[in-house]
């Protein structure tokens, strides 16, 4: 298939929570026009798809996106031209979870947390979602606070129960994160931990790579290549960071890294529906919808460059031990300006070649600012 | 002076905000018995002093600790056996400060921020505080978002105005921080930036070292030694971290580092009232008052070890180029168990040798849990 | 068993290369009295055991310690009161290995490298060593230089061949390292990669944790606990670091971390002959033999503290969710001064209570300085 | 001046040591055709200039490039179309410097080190070089090994003596580095330290930024902007790194960072002869001359993009607080493919548009491989 066709079939999922307010522990700055319920979030997400053409699904976060009738919510999504994607569980914002959820020393808390995860599978059934994303904030702040190994036992027990509940065609993605909100030890701190758990559980358990969740200096594309080789890469939570889990727009901090990741994804057979491309970002100071549009475009540009890579020339230089030559082949792809190609692609899809401009001119933002007055804005914890 | 006398005169300031609720961006877990106003915070801080004997002052945070009558608040503190310490400004939680405070591109916002700083000097006048602590969350999240150099110009202008407003016997301490809440560039990211600004302003401007605000691998005790040599170390915000600005209890993550810092403080002539020892921590999951007591004890223990260091033997080994010998002298001090010495010291001061146990037995916690029902608990942003 | 008995049975292996010269890329500073062949290295290692009583074996490095008659070398070791421990392979100092060894794009180089590893197994047979340590410097310096995934395939192939050659009672330990000498991607960069390969190979393949080989901020004791839970922790290469792979004396940079590691080792059932405690350090500026003695003592002290931990009290506090209480139990053990206990232990073993002083007084250093004149000093690459 | 003219006047200095062998502490891989003396190094450097047109000077390293007659060496350079640039001192490879050079506890060693620096100024006089680059490997490996503050005093004393020796039109650049070869504390670890020393000395002392010498996460362009604002940025040692001081080709690891640095250089008035652009790299596995050519091209490309930045549009977006808009203006410049523009520029200068290809076709490499047989290859320490 040619590059344009492959780009046309790209599928980047945006997260419902990116449309609500977010911030740091210091302050959440409220923005105008922010959605007040899951329905409005889906409407905003539909805008991103309308202008980019490659963002047809939206991830939900439970309980932030809890509704009485998920079939109704799914129909609402369809009416706006999008579909519901992954279901994200949340076992970190209830008072009971102060010392953990599925790894909590108290069995009753673990039961509650696992029940929430099982409820998320029910929502998958109701919405038709095939993917459950599991992120645990579980961990400890002080050495000695709890037993590292016992927490692994508890984690394994809960994961097993959830795994066994998954239906045909359903899977879960286990997310890892070095730190935050736990500040001494996190129960799933790295890909190795997530991988080991998933391997024991079976094929419906896979690892999701959040690009902001690593120790400084970690080579993320190596992890991507390794997990693809093992058949255990389930998807990405895309964002970017300079320091910790900054949750900036993907590609904003290190576009070359994003390109290298896409090179491994494509080279490793991960470019397709089995590896989910999801955004997971916090637009703390920039407007939400344009922030998502820009992020989708950043992923597209990195993908386009990676697709342009002359892999035959690369393999030849590599096999000859030509260090500079092989690096040059890679850099040639990276240094290419793919924006004209993507503009053409959009036109061929019946879209405006300039999604950011088109959205700005659409009047949508002015409309939601006018309409969405009163009510509580959605946000983390809301 | 002997070690016991020097330890007896130690002065560790606790922060009013440590007694309120705090958390991460993911969740603030409310605790029982948390203060609902500055008066109750001072009462709690007084407990820490009552049981340790070395925490006689309390830092305020404006506007979190804003009251109508500061003289009244100061008297309330005195009634509880403590005094008001440093005044901490806050120019990061107003909606206007989304893109900065004193470095904001909009002059009106800068004016507002500087006015707040000047107001803090007025509160110093009213409370008798001699120290203003300046921390700016200012910075940018994305490359290009604002002009790095122009922001320095704006920062310098505001600092100058505040500096000129300081009275005799007043000073300000400029704090630096690598990142958070800004995620690409912070306007005062490192000690060099703070130092350069303070140097230009004059002797009333000094640098404060927050032990959690550095890049990974930074040698903090080197900075301490260097600033002391330059006469520019104004004090510490003590806490500890494994990853970012975790704000754990001081000494909890790396007690050896805390010891090394104290070695430089004492060796560099920084052990005295001109270098403020302040705690700046977030007790997200542990109880507040015991968390502060434990932190004060950790600083004491590191100080005691540093005071025990045989500096004569150290200097001899150093001058002889005896790498292992010099290191061994230092480690001998560190490896000493100073807890019995500190227990004796407390007894000689009329205190219980076991502050944690004594506080637990005092019934204070049960009392505040019973009394402080209703009202809004204090916390970041409250 | 009581603490003293458990300490008495501790077994810390020193590496033959620690007795030779080492340095940085900038300079190797030669020291007086350095061994000139494997026999002299073993004699030096025997001194460490003579004064500490817990360092009865010595790791060899092939080809640095290549001799014609390994049975003779083993007998020489026994004559000095020590035995030969792990065999360390070296596939990084031959000109052929510029672009890799077992992962090199050229099959002939891979063959040569694998043959070297097989030769090391032969040396195990000849010396009676039961452990082969595999560290690969393999990796690439530039993005695109070689194919990340193809290198994994090559690595797996070579490991399989070596694994199949292992005899009964023999095992290999696969070492991981984040970077250096490769500066973009290392072929075994983290514990997850080593674990995944070992898991596929079988029970004779285990992971070895070099305490200096992690990204900044990595929680090493978590990895230790996790690998023990999986039965895949084969041993340690102990050393310490502030920045990169500094190879300083173990316990010198962060004694608290070393203690936490020992807590997990003991708690996870890893304190015994199946988990090898090996030193891997570079005494660039300090004298070699005292550097090793000090390092052995540092491991002993951390072990003693970890053995003193009141695990029952700890478990109780943990189960009650008592964050400060549980941390305090841990810190009580850490803050104990175990040096008197270790001095007594040494006396009960017929040793001088002060190994450093006893070695200094022994005249051994003066003797080797006088005797070892002429010939080429051993060192990295020699 | 237009972009092409500004690019044409760019001046990138290559280092003599980049043409010799280099490596890691594990191994130096010798390459074919490597120079055997300073004359051959200059000849190789002249090739880089011949094919790029913007590398007219070559930095020397003393004593690696020590010759009897510097006037003769300078004439040799001129004959090859290049000139001698900065003089780099070396006080780290003599056995006396094991514990430091200008900060050594022994006065005699300090004297020797300072004398070497003064000798370098004499070589400046002899060669007409106007810049002395000072890098000190000085530091300590273990806490307590030496007194941090006393070492600053010694450093200041030596720097003062060298500063006073500088003639009219001469300056020195003080380099900082976080770590390596010292592994606990380096005597000039960061820009703040270098800045403070230079500020006291006067206008002939400036800071040089080596792009590989920072802690992880450090925002280098901030430092550049700050030093330019203070008039204290003297130049760059360009290279790139993923982990520590990897000394990879500049722009290879993070081309976006290099672009951001150039944006600050140009915006801060640092694009001109007063801020030296120097390469400082180690071509451990790639060929030397092409490695330098590629590096020069990487700097050119980053400069070209930075020159293309629409600073008017940027300032407008910044002043409006348009986060996404301002970032987009910056990214537009970065995403531009400037290679065609640079090819045209080269043709207008009478050069081949493809320097890498032209060099490869020139036969120079084959010639030096044939000619340079016998003799000792130049390298670090040779």
Helix, strand, coil tally for chain A in percent (to 5):
50, 15, 40
For residue C228, the chain A residues in CB contact (below 8 A) are 149
Q: Work out whether strand C131-134 and strand C83-88 pair parallel, antiparallel, or are unpaired.
A: parallel
A246 touching chain D per CB within 8 A: no
Q: Tokens for B41?
A: 């915070």
Reported as half-sphere exposure (CB side, CA atoms, 13 A), residue A261 has a value of 30
**Cβ–Cβ gap C228/A149 under 8 Å:** yes
Task: List the single residue in D with minimal CA-CA distance to B323.
Answer: D145
Q: Tokens for C263?
A: 């807590």
Residue in D216, D256, D337 nearest the CB of A217: D216
User: Hey, how many other C-beta atoms are within 10 angstroms of the C-beta on A360?
Assistant: 18
Residue pair D28/D379 in contact (Cβ under 8 Å)? The answer is yes
- C40 to chain D, minimum CA–CA distance in Å? 23
For residue C328, the chain B residues in CB contact (below 8 A) are 294, 356
Q: Which of D344, D381, D374 is closest to D34 using CA atoms?
A: D374
B173 three-class SS? strand
pLDDT score of C26 more than 80 = yes
Q: Work out whether strand A12-15 and strand D276-279 pair parallel, antiparallel, or are unpaired.
A: unpaired
Q: Tokens for A19?
A: 């449309």
What tens digit of pLDDT does each residue of D316-325 get? 999 999 999 9
Residue C1: predicted pLDDT: 73
Residue pair A102/A92 in contact (Cβ under 8 Å)? The answer is no
Partner chains of B (3+ C-beta pairs under 8 Å): A, C, D
- B122 to chain A, minimum CA–CA distance in Å? 25
Q: Tokens for A81?
A: 């031209």
pLDDT score of D358 more than 70 = yes
Domain residue ranges of chain C, discontinuous segments joined by +: 9-309+353-371
**Cβ–Cβ gap A285/D323 under 8 Å:** yes
**Cβ–Cβ gap B98/A30 under 8 Å:** no
**What single DSSP character describes residue B88?**
E
Residue pair D246/D284 in contact (Cβ under 8 Å)? The answer is no
pLDDT score of B380 more than 80 = no
CA distances from B382 to B19, B93, B376, D336 (A): 12, 10, 8, 47
Q: Tokens for A215?
A: 């120790």
For residue B214, the chain D residues in CB contact (below 8 A) are 215
**Cβ–Cβ gap D335/A339 under 8 Å:** yes
Residue pair B246/B286 in contact (Cβ under 8 Å)? The answer is no
Residue pair C130/C170 in contact (Cβ under 8 Å)? The answer is yes
D69 three-class SS? coil
Cβ within 8 Å of residue A322, ≥6 positions away: none
Rounded to whole angstroms, how far apart are CA atoms B148 and D223?
A: 10
D315 touching chain B per CB within 8 A: yes
Question: Is the preceding omega at residue C63 within 30 degrees of 0, hence cis?
Answer: yes
- B243 to chain A, minimum CA–CA distance in Å? 7
CATH topology of domain C9-309+353-371: TIM Barrel (3.20.20)
User: Hey, how many other C-beta atoms are within 10 angstroms of the C-beta on D80?
Assistant: 18
Residue pair A204/A171 in contact (Cβ under 8 Å)? The answer is yes
Cβ within 8 Å of residue A332, ≥6 positions away: A310
For residue C219, the chain B residues in CB contact (below 8 A) are 242
Partner chains of A (3+ C-beta pairs under 8 Å): B, C, D
For residue D336, the chain A residues in CB contact (below 8 A) are 337
Q: Tokens for A271?
A: 């470019």
D218 touching chain C per CB within 8 A: no
Chain D residues 317-336 within an 8 A CB cutoff of chain A: 323-324, 327-328, 334-336
Q: Tokens for D165?
A: 């020796």
User: Position of tokens 């540093």?
Assistant: B306
pLDDT score of C381 more than 70 = no
C14 three-class SS? strand
**Cβ–Cβ gap D179/B330 under 8 Å:** no
ipTM: 0.97
A226 touching chain B per CB within 8 A: no
Task: List the single residue in A with minimal CA-CA distance to B214.
Answer: A243
Q: Which of D161, D196, D231 is closest to B230 using CA atoms?
A: D196
Q: Which of D75, C148, B327 is closest to A227 using CA atoms?
A: C148
A301 touching chain D per CB within 8 A: yes
CA distances from D264 to C91, C269, D108, D267 (A): 44, 55, 43, 5
Residue pair C244/C215 in contact (Cβ under 8 Å)? The answer is no
Q: Tokens for D319?
A: 């002043």
pLDDT score of C382 more than 70 = no
**Cβ–Cβ gap D185/B222 under 8 Å:** yes
**Cβ–Cβ gap A95/B241 under 8 Å:** no
C287 touching chain B per CB within 8 A: yes
C286 touching chain B per CB within 8 A: yes
Residue pair A27/B381 in contact (Cβ under 8 Å)? The answer is yes
**Cβ–Cβ gap D24/C25 under 8 Å:** yes
Q: What is the count of residue pairs from A and C with beta carbons less than 8 Å apart?
A: 160
CA distances from D277 to A35, A46, D234, D266 (A): 51, 49, 9, 13
Average pLDDT across chain C, whole number: 97
pLDDT score of B1 more than 80 = no
**What single DSSP character describes residue A21?**
B
For residue B184, the chain A residues in CB contact (below 8 A) are 242, 248, 253
Residue pair C80/C54 in contact (Cβ under 8 Å)? The answer is no
Residue C213: predicted pLDDT: 98
pLDDT score of D220 more than 90 = yes
For residue D295, the chain C residues in CB contact (below 8 A) are none
Q: Which of C222, C299, C233 is closest to C264 using CA atoms?
A: C222
For residue B252, the chain C residues in CB contact (below 8 A) are 327
Residue pair D312/D325 in contact (Cβ under 8 Å)? The answer is no
B256 touching chain C per CB within 8 A: yes
What tens digit of pLDDT does each residue of C176-209 get? 999 999 999 999 999 999 999 999 999 999 999 9
Cβ within 8 Å of residue C128, ≥6 positions away: C74, C83, C84
User: Hey, how many other C-beta atoms are within 10 angstroms of the C-beta on B69?
Assistant: 10
Q: Work out whether strand C139-140 and strand C185-186 pair parallel, antiparallel, or are unpaired.
A: antiparallel
Low-confidence ranges of chain A (pLDDT < 70): 381-382
Rounded to whole angstroms, how far apart are CA atoms B332 and B318?
A: 15
B183 three-class SS? coil
**Cβ–Cβ gap C25/D380 under 8 Å:** yes
What tens digit of pLDDT does each residue of D273-308 get? 999 999 999 999 999 999 999 999 999 999 999 999
A136 touching chain C per CB within 8 A: no
**What single DSSP character describes residue A377?**
P
**What single DSSP character describes residue D249?**
P
**Cβ–Cβ gap A242/B183 under 8 Å:** yes
For residue D244, the chain C residues in CB contact (below 8 A) are 179-180, 243-244
Rounded to whole angstroms, how far apart are CA atoms C35 and B354?
A: 54
**Start-to-end C-alpha separation, chain D:** 44
**Cβ–Cβ gap D93/C26 under 8 Å:** yes
**What single DSSP character describes residue D6?**
H
Rounded to whole angstroms, how far apart are CA atoms C214 and B215?
A: 16
Residue pair D83/D56 in contact (Cβ under 8 Å)? The answer is yes
**What single DSSP character describes residue C217?**
T
Rounded to whole angstroms, how far apart are CA atoms B12 and A125?
A: 57
Rounded to whole angstroms, how far apart are CA atoms B233 and B225?
A: 9
């Amino acid at each position: 298939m040619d590059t344009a066709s492959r780009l046309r079939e790209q599928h980047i999922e945006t997260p419902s929570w990116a449309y609500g307010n977010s911030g740091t522990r210091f302050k959440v700055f409220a923005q105008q026009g922010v959605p007040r319920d899951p329905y409005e979030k889906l409407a905003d997400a539909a805008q991103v798809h309308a202008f980019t053409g490659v963002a047809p699904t939206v991830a939900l976060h439970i309980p932030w996106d809890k509704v009485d009738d998920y079939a109704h919510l799914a129909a609402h999504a369809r009416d706006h031209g999008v579909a519901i994607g992954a279901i994200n569980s949340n076992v970190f914002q209830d008072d009971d979870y102060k010392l953990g959820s599925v790894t909590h020393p108290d069995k009753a808390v673990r039961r509650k947390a696992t029940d929430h995860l099982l409820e998320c599978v029910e929502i998958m059934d109701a919405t038709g979602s095939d993917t459950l994303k599991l992120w645990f904030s579980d961990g400890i702040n002080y050495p000695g606070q709890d037993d590292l190994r016992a927490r692994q036992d508890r984690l394994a027990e809960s994961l097993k129960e959830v795994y066994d509940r998954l239906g045909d065609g359903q899977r879960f993605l286990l997310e890892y994160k070095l730190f935050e909100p736990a500040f001494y030890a996190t129960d799933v701190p790295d890909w190795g931990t997530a991988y080991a758990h998933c391997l024991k559980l079976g094929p419906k358990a896979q690892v999701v790579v959040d690009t902001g969740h690593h120790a400084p200096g970690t080579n993320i594309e190596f992890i991507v290549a390794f997990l693809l080789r093992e058949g255990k890469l389930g998807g990405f939570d895309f964002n970017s960071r300079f320091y910790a889990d900054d949750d900036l727009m993907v590609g904003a901090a290190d576009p070359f890294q994003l390109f290298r990741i896409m090179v491994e994804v494509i080279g490793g057979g991960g470019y397709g529906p089995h590896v989910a491309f999801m955004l997971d970002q916090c637009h703390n100071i920039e407007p939400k919808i344009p922030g998502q549009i820009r992020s989708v475009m950043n992923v597209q540009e990195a993908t386009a460059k990676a697709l342009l890579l002359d892999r035959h020339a690369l393999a030849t230089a590599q096999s000859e031990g030509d260090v500079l030559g092989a690096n040059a082949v890679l850099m040639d792809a990276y240094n290419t300006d793919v924006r004209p190609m993507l503009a053409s692609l959009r036109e061929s899809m019946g879209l405006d070649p300039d999604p950011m401009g088109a959205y700005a001119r659409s009047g949508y933002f002015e409309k939601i600012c006018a309409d969405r007055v009163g009510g509580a804005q959605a946000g983390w914890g809301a």
